[in-house]
Amino acid sequence: YFVTPGQFAGDRVEITGDDARHIIKVMRGKLGDKFIVSDGESREALVGIEEMDGTCVQAAVIEELEMKNEPRLAVTIAQSLPKGDKMETVIQKCTEIGAVSFVPFLSERTIVQYDAKKEGKRLARWRKIAKEAAEQAHRNRIPSVEQPLSWKQLLATFSDYDAVYFCYEKEEGSQIGDALKLFVARALQEPLARASLLLVVGPEGGFTEEESRAAEAAGAVSVGLGSRILRCETAGMAALVCALYESGEMG
């Protein structure tokens, strides 16, 4: 379970809200039962239940654990807002695989209407999905889910990353595997080195040529993901697996 650093002070942890209900009602927790808590930043521990009532679980630290389930290559998925609940699928699956952050954005061919009033509720739901997927995947950190950005705002963030790959279905030259080999050899050669990578994925109708030029001008490398056209919700997952494989996270 993920808790705030405030709930996880010294050798005690206090769990409330949905997580407490999950322990009590779903897991049928009993005194002495053990589980893992993380503050999502710097601390993870095996704890045992000491006290509980209907809404709150108090547990004591049994053993501090090493936080070792986060990849050295921090991959952010920038996803042009897809239709329906596909963004939820992207967040859930890419959290399991190992993405550290999600940035939804609007591009020229984004089909869905962006309703700023409904955004709060949707963002809260996406963040809950990231938390639950992080828990089930035994991640040490919950990936962040940012507010949707405009295309221009997204371009302005490119300089925050060590590399940016613009996934472009019309790219016939550079393929993601070749680009990654060069990048990993340069950025992750030292055993303790860390690096960041932004993967930019288009909407159902793809990117325009103008967007492709703008992305390259802002510092992105245009990459193909093979000769098959992937669904917009599949492309980020495929690119993420390539990145984490190449950086040594998958063997």
Smallest separation (angstroms) from ligand SAM to the CB of 251: 24
- In angstroms, the CA 8 to CA 13 distance is 4
DSSP state of 198: E
Nearer to ligand SAM, 13 or 81 (CB): 81
Residues in 225-244 at the binding interface with ligand SAM, rule: CB under 6 A: 225-226, 228-232, 235
Handedness of CA 199, 205, 211, 212 (dihedral sign): positive
| Candidate list 33, 169, 216, 249; residue touching ligand SAM; CB under 6 A | 169
Nearer to ligand SAM, 189 or 227 (CB): 227
Spatial neighbors of 174 by CB under 8 A, at least 6 apart, are 221, 222, 223, 224
**Max CA pair span of the chain:** 61
Taking residues 207 to 226 in sequence order and writing x for each that binds ligand SAM by CB under 6 A, - otherwise, the string is: x----------------xxx
Smallest separation (angstroms) from ligand SAM to the CB of 151: 13
Q: Which residue is nearest to ligand SAM (CB)?
A: 202
Smallest separation (angstroms) from ligand SAM to the CB of 14: 43
Spatial neighbors of 175 by CB under 8 A, at least 6 apart, are 223, 224, 225, 226
DSSP state of 135: H
| Candidate list 167, 184, 187, 237; residue touching ligand SAM; CB under 6 A | 167
- In angstroms, the CA 126 to CA 116 distance is 15
Bridge partner residues of 45 (DSSP): 37, 64
Nearer to ligand SAM, 21 or 109 (CB): 109
Smallest separation (angstroms) from ligand SAM to the CB of 84: 11
Q: Helices 116-136 and 86-97 meet at what angle, rounded to 10?
A: 30
Nearer to ligand SAM, 65 or 149 (CB): 149
Residues in 189-208 at the binding interface with ligand SAM, rule: CB under 6 A: 201-202, 204, 206-207
**Helix and strand element counts for the chain (H, E):** 7, 11
Q: Which residues bind to ligand SAM, rule: CB under 6 A?
A: 167-169, 201-202, 204, 206-207, 224-226, 228-232, 235
